[in-house]
Protein backbone atom coordinates (compact mmCIF):
# COMPACT_ATOMS: atom_id res chain seq x y z
CA UNK A 1 0.00 0.00 0.00
CA UNK A 2 1.58 3.30 -1.14
CA UNK A 3 0.17 6.39 0.55
CA UNK A 4 -0.48 9.41 -1.66
CA UNK A 5 -2.11 12.81 -1.06
CA UNK A 6 -5.72 13.60 -1.99
CA UNK A 7 -6.10 13.69 -5.78
CA UNK A 8 -8.20 12.28 -8.60
CA UNK A 9 -11.38 12.84 -6.66
CA UNK A 10 -10.18 11.16 -3.46
CA UNK A 11 -10.74 13.25 -0.34
CA UNK A 12 -8.74 13.22 2.87
CA UNK A 13 -11.62 11.34 4.51
CA UNK A 14 -11.59 8.65 1.80
CA UNK A 15 -7.83 8.21 2.13
CA UNK A 16 -8.26 7.92 5.90
CA UNK A 17 -11.01 5.32 5.56
CA UNK A 18 -8.94 3.21 3.15
CA UNK A 19 -5.79 3.37 5.27
CA UNK A 20 -7.69 2.62 8.46
CA UNK A 21 -9.44 -0.37 6.91
CA UNK A 22 -6.11 -1.81 5.73
CA UNK A 23 -4.30 -1.35 9.05
CA UNK A 24 -7.16 -2.67 11.18
CA UNK A 25 -6.75 -6.17 9.68
CA UNK A 26 -3.98 -7.16 12.09
CA UNK A 27 -4.41 -10.35 14.14
CA UNK A 28 -5.46 -9.42 17.68
CA UNK A 29 -4.07 -11.67 20.43
CA UNK A 30 -6.83 -12.59 22.87
CA UNK A 31 -4.68 -13.44 25.91
CA UNK A 32 -5.37 -9.99 27.28
CA UNK A 33 -8.17 -7.90 28.75
CA UNK A 34 -9.33 -4.86 26.81
CA UNK A 35 -11.48 -1.98 28.06
CA UNK A 36 -12.73 1.05 26.17
CA UNK A 37 -12.43 4.24 28.19
CA UNK A 38 -13.37 7.90 27.89
CA UNK A 39 -10.59 10.37 28.60
CA UNK A 40 -11.94 13.65 29.87
CA UNK A 41 -10.19 16.99 29.50
CA UNK A 42 -10.83 20.03 27.35
CA UNK A 43 -12.18 17.50 24.82
CA UNK A 44 -13.68 14.06 25.36
CA UNK A 45 -11.25 11.55 23.87
CA UNK A 46 -11.84 7.87 23.25
CA UNK A 47 -9.21 5.52 24.61
CA UNK A 48 -8.57 1.85 25.20
CA UNK A 49 -6.82 -0.03 28.00
CA UNK A 50 -4.89 -3.22 27.30
CA UNK A 51 -4.22 -5.27 30.43
CA UNK A 52 -1.93 -8.30 30.13
CA UNK A 53 -2.19 -11.23 32.56
CA UNK A 54 -1.47 -10.22 36.16
CA UNK A 55 -1.29 -6.57 35.12
CA UNK A 56 -1.31 -3.74 37.61
CA UNK A 57 -1.89 -0.06 36.93
CA UNK A 58 1.70 0.82 37.76
CA UNK A 59 3.43 1.37 35.43
CA UNK A 60 1.34 2.42 32.42
CA UNK A 61 2.48 2.96 28.84
CA UNK A 62 0.42 5.61 27.02
CA UNK A 63 0.48 4.82 23.29
CA UNK A 64 -0.10 7.30 20.44
CA UNK A 65 -0.89 5.72 17.07
CA UNK A 66 0.80 6.66 13.83
CA UNK A 67 -0.88 7.74 10.62
CA UNK A 68 0.94 10.91 9.51
CA UNK A 69 -1.36 12.96 11.78
CA UNK A 70 -4.22 12.38 9.30
CA UNK A 71 -5.37 8.77 9.79
CA UNK A 72 -5.22 5.99 12.37
CA UNK A 73 -7.43 5.27 15.37
CA UNK A 74 -7.96 2.77 18.16
CA UNK A 75 -8.76 -0.03 15.70
CA UNK A 76 -5.74 0.42 13.41
CA UNK A 77 -3.37 -0.07 16.34
CA UNK A 78 -5.41 -2.44 18.49
CA UNK A 79 -3.32 -5.47 17.50
CA UNK A 80 -0.04 -3.60 18.03
CA UNK A 81 -1.10 -2.37 21.47
CA UNK A 82 -2.16 -5.89 22.48
CA UNK A 83 1.23 -7.21 21.41
CA UNK A 84 3.05 -4.41 23.24
CA UNK A 85 1.13 -5.05 26.46
CA UNK A 86 1.76 -8.80 26.31
CA UNK A 87 5.45 -8.48 25.41
CA UNK A 88 6.19 -5.84 28.05
CA UNK A 89 3.86 -7.12 30.77
CA UNK A 90 2.75 -3.52 31.24
CA UNK A 91 -0.73 -2.00 30.94
CA UNK A 92 -1.07 0.06 27.75
CA UNK A 93 -3.49 2.97 27.25
CA UNK A 94 -4.15 3.86 23.59
CA UNK A 95 -5.39 7.36 22.71
CA UNK A 96 -7.71 8.34 19.83
CA UNK A 97 -6.49 11.92 19.42
CA UNK A 98 -7.99 14.40 16.95
CA UNK A 99 -6.68 14.29 13.38
CA UNK A 100 -5.70 16.80 10.70
CA UNK A 101 -6.72 18.35 8.41
CA UNK A 102 -9.97 18.88 10.34
CA UNK A 103 -8.00 19.51 13.54
CA UNK A 104 -4.53 20.93 12.82
CA UNK A 105 -1.76 21.53 15.33
CA UNK A 106 -1.89 21.79 18.31
CA UNK A 107 -5.13 19.76 18.65
CA UNK A 108 -3.45 16.34 18.65
CA UNK A 109 -0.81 17.47 21.14
CA UNK A 110 -3.48 18.93 23.41
CA UNK A 111 -5.24 15.57 23.36
CA UNK A 112 -2.12 13.52 24.06
CA UNK A 113 -1.13 15.79 26.94
CA UNK A 114 -4.68 15.58 28.33
CA UNK A 115 -4.53 11.79 28.06
CA UNK A 116 -1.34 11.63 30.13
CA UNK A 117 -2.91 13.91 32.74
CA UNK A 118 -6.01 11.69 32.82
CA UNK A 119 -3.97 8.50 33.22
CA UNK A 120 -2.08 10.05 36.11
CA UNK A 121 -5.16 11.40 37.88
CA UNK A 122 -7.44 8.41 37.26
CA UNK A 123 -5.21 5.32 37.18
CA UNK A 124 -2.64 6.90 39.53
CA UNK A 125 0.51 5.09 38.35
CA UNK A 126 3.80 6.17 39.88
CA UNK A 127 5.55 5.60 36.57
CA UNK A 128 4.34 6.51 33.09
CA UNK A 129 5.96 5.77 29.76
CA UNK A 130 5.00 7.16 26.36
CA UNK A 131 5.27 5.27 23.09
CA UNK A 132 4.19 5.69 19.50
CA UNK A 133 4.94 4.87 15.90
CA UNK A 134 5.69 7.38 13.13
CA UNK A 135 3.56 10.50 13.78
CA UNK A 136 2.58 8.96 17.11
CA UNK A 137 6.27 8.89 18.01
CA UNK A 138 6.46 12.62 17.22
CA UNK A 139 3.55 13.20 19.58
CA UNK A 140 5.20 11.05 22.24
CA UNK A 141 8.36 13.18 22.15
CA UNK A 142 6.43 16.46 22.11
CA UNK A 143 4.21 15.31 24.97
CA UNK A 144 7.22 14.18 27.02
CA UNK A 145 8.84 17.59 26.53
CA UNK A 146 5.59 19.37 27.48
CA UNK A 147 5.22 17.24 30.62
CA UNK A 148 8.80 17.93 31.67
CA UNK A 149 8.33 21.67 31.13
CA UNK A 150 5.38 21.55 33.55
CA UNK A 151 7.41 19.73 36.20
CA UNK A 152 5.77 16.33 35.73
CA UNK A 153 8.18 14.32 33.56
CA UNK A 154 7.41 10.85 32.30
CA UNK A 155 9.75 7.97 33.03
CA UNK A 156 10.29 6.34 29.63
CA UNK A 157 9.90 6.93 25.91
CA UNK A 158 9.60 4.32 23.14
CA UNK A 159 9.69 5.41 19.50
CA UNK A 160 9.06 3.34 16.37
CA UNK A 161 10.44 4.96 13.17
CA UNK A 162 9.63 8.52 14.35
CA UNK A 163 8.31 11.21 11.99
CA UNK A 164 10.10 14.32 13.25
CA UNK A 165 11.18 16.69 10.47
CA UNK A 166 8.50 18.76 8.69
CA UNK A 167 11.16 20.06 6.27
CA UNK A 168 11.88 16.47 5.16
CA UNK A 169 15.64 16.94 4.99
CA UNK A 170 17.98 13.96 4.86
CA UNK A 171 19.14 11.65 2.11
CA UNK A 172 16.61 8.94 3.01
CA UNK A 173 13.72 11.29 2.22
CA UNK A 174 14.97 11.54 -1.35
CA UNK A 175 16.08 7.93 -1.75
CA UNK A 176 12.86 6.34 -0.49
CA UNK A 177 10.30 8.92 -1.62
CA UNK A 178 8.78 6.41 -4.06
CA UNK A 179 8.26 2.67 -4.07
CA UNK A 180 7.61 2.27 -0.35
CA UNK A 181 4.64 2.73 1.97
CA UNK A 182 5.29 6.42 2.56
CA UNK A 183 5.76 8.68 -0.45
CA UNK A 184 7.33 12.11 -0.44
CA UNK A 185 4.19 13.72 -1.85
CA UNK A 186 2.06 12.19 0.90
CA UNK A 187 4.44 13.35 3.64
CA UNK A 188 4.43 16.90 2.26
CA UNK A 189 0.64 16.94 2.29
CA UNK A 190 0.39 15.38 5.76
CA UNK A 191 2.81 17.86 7.34
CA UNK A 192 0.92 20.71 5.65
CA UNK A 193 -2.38 19.37 6.98
CA UNK A 194 -0.96 19.10 10.50
CA UNK A 195 0.58 22.58 10.27
CA UNK A 196 -2.68 24.24 9.34
CA UNK A 197 -2.80 27.95 8.60
CA UNK A 198 -0.40 29.15 11.28
CA UNK A 199 3.35 29.76 11.13
CA UNK A 200 4.89 26.91 13.16
CA UNK A 201 8.51 27.53 12.14
CA UNK A 202 9.56 28.63 15.62
CA UNK A 203 7.58 26.06 17.61
CA UNK A 204 9.86 23.24 18.83
CA UNK A 205 6.90 21.01 19.74
CA UNK A 206 5.79 21.11 16.09
CA UNK A 207 9.28 20.94 14.57
CA UNK A 208 11.22 18.68 16.90
CA UNK A 209 14.44 19.27 14.98
CA UNK A 210 14.45 22.60 16.85
CA UNK A 211 13.68 21.13 20.28
CA UNK A 212 16.06 21.06 23.24
CA UNK A 213 16.02 17.41 24.28
CA UNK A 214 17.85 17.25 27.61
CA UNK A 215 14.64 16.87 29.66
CA UNK A 216 13.66 13.60 27.95
CA UNK A 217 13.56 10.37 30.00
CA UNK A 218 15.38 7.16 29.01
CA UNK A 219 14.44 6.74 25.36
CA UNK A 220 14.36 3.74 23.02
CA UNK A 221 14.39 4.49 19.28
CA UNK A 222 13.84 1.94 16.53
CA UNK A 223 14.53 2.86 12.89
CA UNK A 224 14.07 1.05 9.57
CA UNK A 225 16.58 1.07 6.72
CA UNK A 226 14.19 1.37 3.76
CA UNK A 227 12.23 4.27 5.22
CA UNK A 228 12.12 7.93 4.18
CA UNK A 229 12.10 8.75 7.92
CA UNK A 230 15.30 6.79 8.59
CA UNK A 231 17.72 9.71 8.71
CA UNK A 232 15.61 11.93 10.97
CA UNK A 233 15.30 9.04 13.42
CA UNK A 234 19.05 8.44 13.40
CA UNK A 235 19.70 12.18 13.76
CA UNK A 236 17.35 12.31 16.74
CA UNK A 237 19.34 9.54 18.43
CA UNK A 238 22.56 11.54 17.99
CA UNK A 239 20.99 14.79 19.21
CA UNK A 240 19.38 13.17 22.24
CA UNK A 241 22.63 11.48 23.26
CA UNK A 242 24.52 14.75 22.81
CA UNK A 243 21.96 16.38 25.14
CA UNK A 244 22.69 13.79 27.83
CA UNK A 245 19.61 11.61 27.33
CA UNK A 246 19.98 7.88 28.00
CA UNK A 247 19.21 6.42 24.57
CA UNK A 248 18.88 2.82 23.37
CA UNK A 249 18.78 2.51 19.59
CA UNK A 250 18.14 -0.39 17.25
CA UNK A 251 18.26 -0.22 13.45
CA UNK A 252 16.48 -2.76 11.26
CA UNK A 253 18.30 -2.05 8.03
CA UNK A 254 16.33 -4.48 5.88
CA UNK A 255 12.85 -3.24 6.80
CA UNK A 256 10.37 -0.61 5.56
CA UNK A 257 8.42 2.03 7.42
CA UNK A 258 5.59 0.65 9.52
CA UNK A 259 6.82 -2.94 9.47
CA UNK A 260 6.13 -3.65 13.15
CA UNK A 261 2.40 -3.05 12.83
CA UNK A 262 1.63 -4.28 9.32
CA UNK A 263 -1.30 -6.71 9.07
CA UNK A 264 -0.16 -10.31 8.87
CA UNK A 265 2.87 -9.76 11.06
CA UNK A 266 6.43 -10.93 10.49
CA UNK A 267 9.33 -12.44 12.40
CA UNK A 268 11.27 -9.19 12.10
CA UNK A 269 8.29 -7.22 13.36
CA UNK A 270 8.04 -9.48 16.39
CA UNK A 271 11.77 -9.08 17.05
CA UNK A 272 11.47 -5.30 16.85
CA UNK A 273 8.50 -5.15 19.18
CA UNK A 274 10.24 -7.47 21.65
CA UNK A 275 13.25 -5.13 21.68
CA UNK A 276 11.09 -2.04 22.28
CA UNK A 277 9.01 -3.80 24.93
CA UNK A 278 12.12 -4.89 26.81
CA UNK A 279 13.57 -1.37 26.70
CA UNK A 280 10.35 0.16 28.04
CA UNK A 281 9.99 -2.49 30.74
CA UNK A 282 13.55 -1.92 31.97
CA UNK A 283 12.97 1.83 32.20
CA UNK A 284 9.58 1.56 33.88
CA UNK A 285 9.87 -1.28 36.36
CA UNK A 286 11.65 -1.43 39.69
CA UNK A 287 14.09 -4.20 38.80
CA UNK A 288 13.52 -4.50 35.05
CA UNK A 289 11.62 -7.77 35.43
CA UNK A 290 7.97 -6.78 35.70
CA UNK A 291 5.35 -4.40 37.07
CA UNK A 292 5.22 -3.27 40.66
CA UNK A 293 3.26 -5.02 43.38
CA UNK A 294 0.23 -2.77 43.07
CA UNK A 295 -3.00 -4.81 43.10
CA UNK A 296 -4.03 -6.53 39.91
CA UNK A 297 -6.85 -4.89 37.99
CA UNK A 298 -10.15 -6.70 38.40
Annotated catalytic residues are 134
Residue 19: other Cβ atoms inside 10 A: 18
Question: Do the strands 128-133 and 60-64 form a parallel or antiparallel pair, or are they unpaired?
Answer: parallel
Segment holding 146, helix H or strand E? helix 135-149
Phi, psi at 68, each rounded to 5°: 55, 25
59 strand-pairing partners: none
**Per-residue H/E/C for 260-286:** HHCCCCCHHHHHHHHHHHHHHHHHHCC
- Distance CA(99)–CA(108), nearest Å, equals 7
Sheet holding 247-256, edge to edge: 33-40, 44-51, 91-95, 60-64, 128-133, 156-160, 219-226, 247-256
Classify the C-alpha dihedral 266-270-271-272 as positive or negative.
positive
Q: What is the largest CA-CA distance in the chain?
A: 56
Q: 3-state class of 197 per DSSP? A: coil
Amino acid sequence: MALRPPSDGLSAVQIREAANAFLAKGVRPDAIRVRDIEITGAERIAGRLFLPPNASLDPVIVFFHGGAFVFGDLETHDALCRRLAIASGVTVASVDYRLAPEHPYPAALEDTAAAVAWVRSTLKPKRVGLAGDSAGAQLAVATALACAAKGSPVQALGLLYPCLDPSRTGASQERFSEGHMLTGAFLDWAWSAYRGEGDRSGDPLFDLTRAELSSLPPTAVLTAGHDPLRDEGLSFVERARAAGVEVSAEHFGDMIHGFVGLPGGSRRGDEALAWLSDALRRSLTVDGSGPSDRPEVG
